[in-house]
């Protein structure tokens, strides 16, 4: 059996037309940025490019 450390990553499945996409989701254990921080940074960078 898998332990918590070895658990299979979550998979997101999306079908668009005749193509099915399977995306495995994983998180870095060494990341120094929270998901919230990352989203804020991406939004700010995108808004600066639009200006």
Question: Tens of pLDDT along 33-45?
Answer: 988 999 999 999 9
Question: Tens of pLDDT along 5-34?
Answer: 667 778 999 999 999 999 998 878 898 998
DSSP 1-51: ---TTTPPPPEEEEEETTEEEEEE----SS--S-HHHHHHHHHHHHHHHH-
Specify the pLDDT at position 8.
76
Whether the full predicted model's pTM is greater than 0.85, yes or no, is no
């Amino acid at each position: 059996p898998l332990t918590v450390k070895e658990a299979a990553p979550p998979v997101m499945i999306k079908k668009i037309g005749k193509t099915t996409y399977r995306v495995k989701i994983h998180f870095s254990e060494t990341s120094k940025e929270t998901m919230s921080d990352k989203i804020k940074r991406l939004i700010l960078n995108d808004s600066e490019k639009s200006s």
